[in-house]
Amino acid sequence: MQKDFSKHWKSSKQPRKQRKYNYNAPLHIKKRLLSTHLSKELIKNYKTRNISVKKGDTVEILRGQFRKIKGKITRVNLKKTRVYVEGAQLSKRDGTKAYYPIHPSNLRIIELDLTDKKRKQKLEKLGKNVSQKAN
């Protein structure tokens, strides 16, 4: 088995191969793995189920010890495929607080950060295309 990432990777049922694919994937493919479900209201507005996570989005944590906590995303780690959310912090022995890394599949976006013009245009385009097809 090769250690490097292969474009010709075929999906496998084996979790070890799936983990290997995710770990060795280049950053432009890892960016796609950072998508998260939207809330029901946002799904109705933008006519899409999920979107890539971005710093500044408000999310709700669905799984783990911090579930039901809502907060803004402070940092996104593309290499480790983890997101850091305000409110999801552990206190260390010396009293300092450290953000807890959370996988994006365990989150739901409640409010989008639309300061990025490209992202805003893309979402508006998605909403318009679906409404035109329905007519």
Burial 88-120 (b: 16+ CB within 10 A, else e): bbeeeeeeeeebbebebebbbbeebbeeeeeee
pLDDT in tens, 15-47: 998 888 888 888 888 888 899 999 999 999 888
Q: Rounded CA gap, 110 and 78, in Å?
A: 21
**Whole-model pTM above 0.85?**
no
Domains and CATH numbers, the chain: 35-134 (2.30.30.30)
pLDDT in tens, 86-110: 999 999 999 999 999 999 999 999 9
Confidence of residue 65 (pLDDT cuts 50, 70, 90): very high
3-class SS of residue 106: helix
Evaluate whether 53 touches 102 at the Cβ level (below 8 Å).
no
